[in-house]
Chain A
Amino acid sequence: MSTALHAPQAATPGTEAPRLEARGVTVRFGGLVANKDVDLAVGSQQIVGLVGPNGAGKSTLFAVLSGLLRPTSGRVFMDGEDVTGTSPQKRAARGLARTFQHPELFSSLSVREHLVLAYRMKNAKSRIWTDLLNFRGFASSPKAEDQRVDELVESLQLGAIQHRPAAGLPLGSARLLEIARALAREPRVLLLDEPSSGLDVRETEEVAEVLKSVVRDHGVSLLMVEHDVELVLGMSDAVHVLDFGVKIAGGTPAEVRRDPAVRAAYLGEEIEKPAVQRAEAEIEQGELA
């Protein structure tokens, strides 16, 4: 799809432009095409899943959407406005937050300090400069900041480790901390890269509940890369499937579940339990033979 076809569309009266939209995004690393002509939109208060096998280009697309990588061609829009050339900082200021497949934590900062910093970057960015002059580094935190940080600490069950440095946290805690840090930024769109990785079943369910509540209560839109297919299909309003950098399907979870291309490329026999059982039986017979 050519770039010219992807000129920003003004939101027609009565319809709201997607909070985040990729149009015809292509990313090439030399001869490797990591994303090819990918379209994707995340509407207001929508949960959108992005799935695909390893190497499908999901993290590359996340990097493009969050501004860490410039696409070779194609555009990225936030609320209908072209942000393709803007920095990650600018996109953060417009309400985009994200987590990473490998948590990008600040090892020397405590869990609580991560949230404090994220909160201030949203609500008191000028403190980067003013704190140097008015010695607020020695003063206690404002009440509103403490309150918001306490809420996040509590809702993501980080209380027991809130004063620990991030270095040395187990992967599950690190993931929760990244989610909490992103939420402290009070985002309008949240990109989550494998949020359940490293968590057990109960913790995954709890995180899913937290995420649903931020969508429901705070109007946040979610775009989620996740290997736990059942989690994605269970939570999402829409799901997109990538394979070898190409979007091979998109639609409601039910539509994606039924799509033969998806089943062949990725979901395959994984959600067809009888088929799995058949395969296991065949393997067993082979071993016995």
Chain B
Amino acid sequence: MLSYVLAGLGLGSIYAIAAGSLVITYVASGIFNLAFAAMAYSVARFYYWLLVEEGWGIVPSALVSLFVFAPALGMFLYAVLFRHLRLRSTLVKLMATVGLSVALPPLVQLVLEQPTNTQAPGLAPRPLDVFKVFGSTINADQLATYIGLVVVLVVGVGLLRFTNVGLKVRALVDSEALTSLSGTSPGRVSLGVWAASATLAGLAGILLAPTQGLSVQSMTFLMSAAFAAVVAAKLRSLPLAVAVALVMGVTTNVLEKFIDPSSEFGAVIKPAIPFIFMLLFLLFYALRGQAGDLVAGGALDRAIATQGGDPSVVSAVTGGSNRRILNPSVLAGVVIVGIVFLMPGMLDKFWSGLLATGIAIAIALLSYTLVTGEGGMVWLSQITFAGGGAVLSAELVRNWGWEPLVAVLVAAVFIVPVGVILGLLTIRLGNLYVALVTLTFGSLITTLVFRRDPYYNFGSGQPMPRPEYSTTNDDFAYLALAVFVILAILIVNVRRSTAGLAMSAVRFSENGAKTLGISVVQTKVLVSGLATFTAAVGGGFIAMSNGSTLPDSFDPAGGLVWLAVLVTMGARSNIAALIAGVMFIMMPQVFQTYVDHDYADIPIILFGLGALGLALHPEGVVAQTGNNIMSLVRKITGRRGSDGETPVPPGTPGASGPVRSETDDPLLTPATRGEAATITAGGQA
């Protein structure tokens, strides 16, 4: 029994370092670092390069990786990215870290290349020493993990509790604004926090690599498992996060004593442990009404916080009120769809096949248009719903002989309740919980379903034929485009409908919406259900396009890339989804074919950087380009803008004060815009 506990403590220690790092970074910076896995991979890859490829010793490799490279990486990322996010909305912060998680690993691989063998040595010398503890054996890697956790806790708690630096960090957590007024530079403290955060991420990555492999996927799985402890800690309690992480690790291993891990049930239950923990804590907090996105900082921080800059918000404000049926964006959409319609005739079989897959992915991306663009939420399980649609429709075709298109639509209907239940569990807890839970759910389903036979089938999955009337690439591209257009029209209908108005209301002011009689949960669950259906249909089409389900293509890490691509193009535009889908598939191939095979990941890096650019251009590339073109047309024709862009007419009540147009600065706070500033407590009574 003791040996199971000791082995479990090893896994739990890695979870604990990851969870502790996520909690410390969140409370100290207000940013939940979804790029933790990417940072862990980057540092671990650098360590591997020094240790294995350059032949350095363990100690110098570890010292340089953890105390030079990792802090430098953290500080660099703070300087170029995180410091710009300090006052941004939760959605922008999440999206920027998603962008980083997408861009960073391929950037590292561009320089250092992905190692062919993902089994990497840890911090202990090879061959591994074995020690006897109370009659049980532990190896040197496990010992290194325990020591790692103890050092992190002793140094971390000591620094935070007993030093001047710790005092400043804790002051920053309580109120950044007041801390800066007292003469402390929040920037300098945050710089240190991010340096420490990158070091902890790197330590977790290096410790994890020997058992789970040196890959982005394994690091993402670690991060999503650690989310369970973070949720249990309600994002803030370091001791609780560490304790739950350790218990999770021990439980996972102790179960092996009672349940054969190679049995059917054992194989299912083991990877599900983090999700089960998360589910239990979610239910516990939800029933006690204790969870929810916490408002960080003091009254002054809330008063100056930037609620704008949210990709869905800004694009909605800049273009959302134009509800005429024939408007410039509709005309642009017709032109883009027309161009895509003409493309199959101009491309050879290979490229038209890629185009068809790109359009299929665009269908799945429309789910983000709904859930992020309209609903203002970050769901990280859309790719899992797509995978579910692919697997289920393939099963309907294989086992029941259904017509493929019917199978795709019916499978999508069956997937909808999954999204609705996830929504009901998480939505009332806030945006951050939605992101954490959906990513963990995605990892769970990937492990439990997609990577298990008969669905996995050595990575090729199950066959998924195309409908008889569209077996060629060109015909299938047309079919996919037709379905895309139908779904896009449905989304436009949603946007223009009463439900669309209610969604906008909920996104901008939940209190305002509630007092109008709108149910916030019902509205968000509605959009989540629609998005789940759309994602599942997209998944079915991706499988039909590939001729097989290819379960690996629905990995949650890939879902982050999908989201980054879509947000880069425009979170609220159907046409952006079409362009994003086509570019996601075709651009790497263009680079591989016409530039260099080694540069195939460049587009992925660009998409990640595009998502990072949200802080500057929240409306996305497509909408931004459209706005620029419209401005140019107006300038040339000398026409004035629509109502939304003209100044408030003279004589408008309260217009005597300074008024700026929304387009002047899309990141203006509601308070500075003179509207919708929400002071949740401590306001003038």
Using CB atoms and an 8 Å cutoff, list the residues of chain A in contact with chain B: 29, 52, 54-60, 66-68, 87-89, 91-93, 96-98, 100-110, 113, 116-118, 120-122, 124-125, 127-129, 131-132, 135-138, 157, 160-161, 163-176, 181, 185, 198-200, 203, 242
Contact = CB atoms under 8 A, between A and B. Distances in A.
Q: Which 5 A-B pairs have the closest CB atoms?
A: A172-B654, A104-B512, A131-B497, A137-B496, A108-B316
Contacts of B377: none
Contacts of B514: 67-68, 87-89, 92
Given A87-B514, A102-B683, A200 B678 contact: no
Contact of B512 (A67, A105, A165): A105
Given A108-B320, A122-B517, A102 B496 contact: no
A211 B501 CA distance: 27
B317 A169 contact: no
B679 interface: yes
Given A131-B499, A166-B676, A170-B648, 9 more contacts: A88-B514, A93-B517, A107-B508, A107-B675, A129-B526, A137-B497, A167-B317, A169-B675, A203-B654
A104 B307 CA distance: 13
Contacts of B316: 107-108
A164 B517 contact: no
B498 A127 contact: yes
A169 B683 CA distance: 21
Given A105-B508, A108-B508, A160-B649, A168 B643 contact: no
Contacts of A170: 648, 652-657, 659, 674
Contacts of A127: 497-499
Interface of B: 313, 316-317, 320-321, 323, 325, 492-502, 504-505, 507-509, 511-519, 523, 526, 642-644, 646, 648-649, 651-657, 659-662, 670-671, 673-679, 681, 683-685
Contact of A165 (B519, B523, B644): B644
Given A128-B523, A168-B660, A173 B512 contact: no
18 contacts: A57-B685, A88-B511, A93-B517, A100-B512, A105-B508, A105-B675, A106-B509, A120-B498, A121-B517, A121-B518, A131-B499, A132-B493, A161-B649, A170-B656, A172-B654, A173-B655, A176-B654, A203-B654
A106 B504 contact: yes
A235 B518 CA distance: 31
Contacts of A185: 516-517
Contacts of B502: 117, 121, 128
A107 B657 CA distance: 19
Given A54-B684, A102-B678, A66 B518 contact: no
A91 B509 CA distance: 18
A200 B496 CA distance: 36
Contacts of B496: 137-138
Q: Which of B499, B513, B675 has the most CB of A within 10 A?
A: B675
Contacts of B313: 107-108
B516 A172 contact: no
Q: Which of A54, A96, A128, A171 has the most CB of B within 10 A?
A: A128
A120 B677 CA distance: 25
A165 B323 CA distance: 12
B660 to A, nearest CB: 7
A86 B239 CA distance: 37
Contacts of A138: 325, 493, 496
A52 B685 contact: yes
A117 B505 contact: yes
Contacts of A171: 654, 657, 674-675
B630 to A, nearest CB: 16
Contacts of B651: 160
B321 A109 contact: yes
B185 to A, nearest CB: 30
B673 A168 contact: yes
B649 A181 contact: no
Contacts of B494: 132, 137
B321 A117 contact: no
Nearest to B682: A55
Nearest to B677: A102
A102 B517 CA distance: 19
B109 to A, nearest CB: 40
B503 to A, nearest CB: 9
Contact of B519 (A54, A89, A172, A200): A89
A109 B652 CA distance: 18
Contacts of A57: 685
Contacts of A199: 653-654
Contacts of A101: 683-684
Contacts of B515: 66-68, 88, 91-92, 96-98, 104
B493 A200 contact: no
B504 A108 contact: yes
Contacts of A125: 517
Contact of B493 (A104, A137, A176, A203): A137
A98 B515 CA distance: 7
B55 to A, nearest CB: 58
A121 B523 CA distance: 13
Given A105-B676, A117-B501, A168-B661, A157 B653 contact: yes
B504 A102 contact: no
A105 B674 CA distance: 11
Contacts of B656: 170, 200
Q: Which of A54, A117, A129, A168 has the most CB of B within 10 A?
A: A168
Contacts of B500: 137
Contacts of A60: 685
A136 B495 CA distance: 11
Contact of A129 (B499, B507, B685): B499
Contacts of B323: 113
Contacts of A203: 653-654
A180 to B, nearest CB: 11
Q: Which of A87, A172, A203 has the most CB of B within 10 A?
A: A172
B660 A117 contact: no
B498 A128 contact: yes
A47 B554 CA distance: 60
Contacts of A132: 493-494, 497, 499
Contacts of A131: 493, 497-499
A107 B512 contact: no
B317 A107 contact: yes
B684 A59 contact: yes
Nearest to A97: B515
Contacts of B677: 102
A165 B321 contact: yes
Contacts of B646: 164
B661 A172 contact: no
B654 A59 contact: no
B511 A100 contact: yes
Contacts of B523: 128
Contacts of B507: 106, 108
Nearest to B498: A127
Q: Which of A29, A97, A173 has the most CB of B within 10 A?
A: A173
B683 A106 contact: no
B505 A106 contact: yes
Contact of B654 (A135, A137, A175): A175
A202 to B, nearest CB: 9
Nearest to A168: B662
B678 A164 contact: no
Given A105-B509, A108-B320, A113-B501, A89 B517 contact: yes
A92 B516 contact: yes
Contacts of B526: 128-129
Contact of B518 (A89, A136, A198): A89
A183 B270 CA distance: 57
A168 B512 contact: no
Contacts of B499: 127-129, 131-132
A137 B323 CA distance: 9
B641 to A, nearest CB: 11
A172 B659 contact: no
A136 B497 contact: yes
Contacts of A172: 652-655
